[in-house]
């Protein structure tokens, strides 16, 4: 199986890797123009999902191709606000999802990784 790498990063990872018909998007954080998104977990969630959409576009996919996400929330009390913002990006046929409360590596409320399926 051939692999294709998309994007560039300032850390040793690829923002996305295509392996056959699957695109694996590394955990995305709520950065907009090099700065953390402001406005709480809902705004951060939208920024993260916009970033995932941009990475998927580089790989020839879009949000409708996402089949699985993994979500890390800093605070379980943010779940309802997160879930409302997240749901707007997947109004029908949402992907499978795992969500966990976690201490994140930087001062953010949410991080999300995704797997998309898009046959070549």
Is residue 108 within 8 A of residue 29, CB to CB? The reply is yes
Q: Which domains does the chain have, with CATH numbers?
A: 3-117 (3.30.1330.40)
Q: What is the mean pLDDT of each run of 10 residues along the chain (120 residues)?
A: 58 86 96 91 98 95 97 97 98 96 93 96
pTM comes to 0.91
Q: In 3-state terms, the chain is what percent helix, strand and coil (to 5)? A: 30, 35, 35
């Amino acid at each position: 199986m051939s692999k294709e790498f998309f994007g560039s990063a300032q850390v040793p990872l690829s923002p996305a890797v295509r392996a056959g018909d699957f695109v694996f998007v590394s955990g995305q954080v709520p950065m907009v123009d090099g700065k953390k998104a402001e406005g709480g977990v809902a705004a951060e969630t939208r920024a993260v999902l916009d970033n995932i959409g941009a990475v998927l576009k580089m790989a020839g996919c879009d949000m409708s191709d996402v089949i699985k996400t993994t979500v890390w929330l800093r605070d379980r009390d943010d779940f309802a606000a997160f879930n409302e913002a997240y749901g707007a990006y997947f109004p029908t046929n949402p992907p499978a999802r795992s969500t966990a409360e976690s201490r994140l590596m930087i001062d953010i409320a949410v991080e999300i990784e995704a797997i998309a399926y898009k046959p070549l």
